[in-house]
Amino acid sequence: MVHYLIGLIGSGIGPSLSPALHEREAAELGLGYSYRLLDLDVIGRPVGDVLAAARSEGFDGLNITHPAKQAVLPHLDEIVPEAAALGAVNTVVFDRGRAIGHNTDATGFARSLSRGLPDAAMANVVLLGAGGAGAAVAHALLSLGTGHLGVHDVDESRSATLVAALESRFGAGRATVCAPEAVRTADGLVHATPTGMAAHPGLPLDESLLRGELWVADIVYRPLETGLLAAARARGCRVLHGGGMVVLQAAESLRLFTGVEPDAGRMLAHFAELEGEPAHAS
């Protein structure tokens, strides 16, 4: 039996469901598969050092999560064009000693949104967060047909950098830097910052900006019901939690690691078993 050794690099990743999702599906596919958590907070070393150690210890691949999706870029030997366009990597495949960066977040989010909110209005959407995950979500939203995307990040230079990349790829005027108040006139809101995670509780914006006509998607999945989604639900918004994205990006990562096509539907069902709630609850 072929055996794969995979890891996840990030901070505060103890609650991650990635080991369970990957190892269960790999077993269903008849693959030997071990998935290790490489928590930067526990190891106390930067992402480049951890990646180098994983390479030397014979790992076959790595998933990369907050806060390392952009910080990992200088430590890779190659970045596939789609990930380079996003400026962020969440999957690293070791191929004959070379570290090759991919990004499965964009397709994972796009497929989750299409499944969970298939008829969502897309003329005007606001994105909170312009980091690695936010960049992937931004490209996914414009690829899905969002007419205009407003981007807000507490680091305004990061917002401006992402908007410039989006306009270069999708055309002038498709994206602009905005303030959170732009949510007042938007069709949808997507949240792509760590706020709301178990280790970062709170709301990413003033809840008074939310209104019933707005749909709200959060990429956070631990917990599934973030403070933002609870506030949005209370105001009558249709909501989408981060479960679908995490499962569907995991499925694509598993395919990249092994060359074997996983059963995404089976992985979504496994997520529902683990969480007691469907991956596309809205």
Residues that are catalytic: 69
Cβ atoms within 10 Å of 87's Cβ, excluding its own:
20
Q: How far is CA 215 from the centre of its chain?
A: 18
Q: Are strands 61-64 and 3-10 parallel, antiparallel or unpaired?
A: parallel
Please tell me the distance from the alpha carbon of residue 24 to that of residue 64, in angstroms, as a whole number: 20
Nearest alpha-carbon partner for 103 in 136, 138, 55, 78: 136
Please tell me the distance from the alpha carbon of residue 47 to that of residue 43, in angstroms, as a whole number: 10
Nearest alpha-carbon partner for 141 in 113, 181, 178: 113
Please tell me the distance from the alpha carbon of residue 262 to that of residue 277, in angstroms, as a whole number: 21
Burial class (CB in 10 A: 0-12, 13-18, 19+), 281: middle
